[in-house]
Copies of this chain bind each other. A is one copy, B any other.
Amino acid sequence: MKFEVAIDVMPRREISDPQGQTIERALPTLGFDGFESVRVGKRIAVVMEAETEAQARDIIEQACQRFLTNPQIEHFSYSLTVMQGTT
């Protein structure tokens, strides 16, 4: 089966996010109001092949924990969808 996975990697809340803070400060000076907080992370879009959804989830979680993110400073979440016509 083929899956499309969207992984979101965000800086942990208690870790400072200088990039987000700088964008936050810039927005009002560009005329964009109302922004209270901005945090910047990564989005990783993956297409993968696995036997089952459970297996796909397992691989993604392991890859995130061991390679794609640094749990010391980031946390991740992901959503997974079966690609049509591939079952």
Listed in ascending order, the chain A residues whose CB lies under 8 Å from chain B are 2, 6, 8-10, 20, 23, 26-27, 30, 32-50, 56, 59, 62-63, 66-68
Partner among B37, B38, B59 whose Cβ is within 8 Å of the Cβ of A34: B59
The residues of B that contact A67 with a CB separation of less than 8 Å are 26-27, 30, 32
Closest to A17 in B: B45
Closest to A6 in B: B8
Q: How many copies does the complex hold?
A: 2
The secondary-structure label for the interface of chain A is strand
Q: What would 20 more interface pairs be, CB under 8 Å, given A32-B63, A33-B59, A42-B42?
A: A6-B8, A8-B43, A9-B43, A10-B43, A10-B45, A23-B44, A26-B67, A30-B63, A30-B66, A30-B67, A34-B50, A34-B56, A34-B59, A35-B46, A35-B48, A37-B46, A39-B45, A39-B46, A40-B42, A43-B43
